[in-house]
């Protein structure tokens, strides 16, 4: 690529949001360049079973779904760069996007860099991810039908996870490191009203037990240091997500957690810079909602570039 070339559109991120935006804008003749990131394909590359993406009645593996989305984008001549963006300059147009080896200029940008689930940081937790350890009840609850599970956390997200799991699981035990919850009172009341939800207070998970799959957890009471073992088959970690927006600091308005502040539909605080997917979604965080936002961002970019031409 020549230094002087200005891309019409650069899409940062290649999860469902970025690839859907690529399919739409490529079909709209914007010839998008996707900076796919080192973890090309995004979060669904980490899961074997996606049962809720429309169009796949038998379910589909996450990597296969992402490969198909990418092939669909390539069919309309989307180009890909397999690198992370390290920094951007949105103060002047055309915008500048710096990757590990390139400096790219663009008239418009869609940010679709997702948000990563925060984990407890235990090696046993990482070893058993996808084998009983999850960070998404809506995605995985059905795999735990009739089973005993725990949810770790005490905020709104943990309440939503527990509430959703209580519909499918035999029992849901909420493990929280403090003696009270910080979730909204209405959500707390809803969860506390479920007969199959129990609470273990002042406790942290010391270890997730199991070889091939989760069989239990070792808990530590932070006040008494007492250790107990709980036999369960699922661990849902709900201690928050971290949006992948470190490279945007000082360039776009971000909230205190790092989520992009939404100006209007898919608009960020900088005209010509749009967003899609989990990077600005504090609540739904689903592949299909991310893809839907990718479509909206694509249509908004098309209109923006059309207006620029005057």
Ligand X SMILES: Cc1cc2nc3c(=O)[nH]c(=O)nc-3n(C[C@H](O)[C@H](O)[C@H](O)COP(=O)(O)OP(=O)(O)OC[C@H]3O[C@@H](n4cnc5c(N)ncnc54)[C@H](O)[C@@H]3O)c2cc1C
**CB neighbours of residue 240 within 10 Å:** 16
Binding mask 136-155 for ligand X (x = CB under 6 A): x--x----------------
User: What value does the CA radius of gyration of the chain take, rounded to a whole number of Å?
Assistant: 21
Question: Is 244 near ligand X (CB under 6 A)?
Answer: yes
CB of 38 to ligand X, least distance (A): 6
Contact of 95 with 88, CB cutoff 8 Å: yes
Following CA atoms 35, 265, 280, 114 in sequence, which dihedral angle do they give, to the nearest 10 degrees? -30
Q: Please, which residue, 62 or 272, has the CB nearer to ligand X? A: 62
CB of 8 to ligand X, least distance (A): 19
Q: Please, which residue, 187 or 279, has the CB nearer to ligand X? A: 279
Cβ within 8 Å of residue 211, ≥6 positions away: none
Q: Is 139 among the residues known to form the active site?
A: yes
- Cα separation, 83 vs 308, in Å, equals 29
Please calculate the CA angle 206-210-214 and round it to the nearest 5 degrees.
Answer: 85
Candidates 71-79, 158-166, 262-270, 277-285: pick the segment binding ligand X (CB under 6 A).
277-285
Question: Is 298 near ligand X (CB under 6 A)?
Answer: no
Instruction: Choose, by CB under 6 A, the member of 165, 208, 286, 302 that binds ligand X.
Output: 286
Instruction: Choose, by CB under 6 A, the member of 28, 37, 94, 210 that binds ligand X.
Output: 37
Instruction: Choose, by CB under 6 A, the member of 11, 13, 124, 304 that binds ligand X.
Output: 13
Contact of 266 with 293, CB cutoff 8 Å: yes
User: Which H helix or E strand runs over 165?
Assistant: helix 156-166
Candidates 132-140, 172-180, 252-260, 295-303: pick the segment binding ligand X (CB under 6 A).
132-140
Catalytic annotation, pick one of 139, 156, 169, 300: 139
Q: Please, which residue, 111 or 191, has the CB nearer to ligand X? A: 111
**CB neighbours of residue 130 within 10 Å:** 14
- Cα separation, 202 vs 261, in Å, equals 34
Distance of CA 70 to the CA centre of its chain: 18
Q: Please, which residue, 39 or 202, has the CB nearer to ligand X? A: 39
Question: Which positions touch ligand X (CB under 6 A)?
Answer: 12-18, 35-37, 39-44, 46-47, 50, 52, 84-85, 112-114, 117, 135-136, 139, 244, 247, 277-279, 285-288, 290
Residues carrying an active site annotation: 136, 139-140
């Amino acid at each position: 690529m020549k230094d002087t070339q200005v891309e019409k559109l650069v899409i940062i991120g290649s999860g469902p949001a970025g690839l859907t935006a690529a399919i739409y804008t490529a079909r709209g003749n914007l010839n998008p360049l996707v900076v796919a990131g080192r973890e090309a394909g995004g979060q669904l590359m980490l899961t074997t079973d996606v049962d809720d993406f429309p169009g796949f009645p038998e379910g589909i593996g996450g990597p296969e779904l992402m490969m198909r989305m990418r092939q669909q984008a390539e069919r309309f001549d989307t180009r890909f760069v397999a690198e992370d963006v390290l920094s951007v300059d949105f103060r002047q147009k055309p915008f500048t996007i710096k990757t590990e080896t390139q400096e790219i200029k663009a008239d418009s940008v869609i940010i679709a860099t997702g948000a990563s689930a925060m984990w407890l940081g235990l090696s046993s937790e990482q070893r058993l991810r996808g084998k009983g350890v999850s960070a998404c009840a809506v995605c995985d609850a059905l795999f735990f039908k009739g089973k005993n599970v725990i949810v770790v956390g005490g905020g709104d997200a943990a309440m939503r996870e527990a509430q959703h799991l209580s519909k499918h699981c035999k029992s849901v035990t909420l493990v929280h490191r403090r003696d009270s919850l910080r979730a909204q009172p209405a959500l707390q009341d809803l969860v506390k009203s479920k007969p199959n939800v129990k609470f273990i207070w002042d406790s942290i998970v010391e270890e997730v037990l199991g070889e091939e799959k989760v069989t239990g957890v070792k808990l530590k009471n932070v006040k008494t240091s007492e250790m107990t073992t709980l036999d369960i088959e699922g661990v849902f970690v709900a201690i928050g997500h971290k949006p992948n927006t470190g490279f945007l600091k000082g360039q776009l308005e971000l909230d205190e957690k790092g989520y992009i502040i939404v100006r209007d539909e898919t608009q960020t605080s900088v005209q010509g810079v749009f967003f899609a997917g989990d990077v600005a979604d504090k609540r739904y965080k689903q592949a299909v909602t991310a893809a839907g936002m990718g479509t909206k961002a694509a249509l908004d970019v098309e209109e923006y570039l059309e207006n620029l031409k005057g």
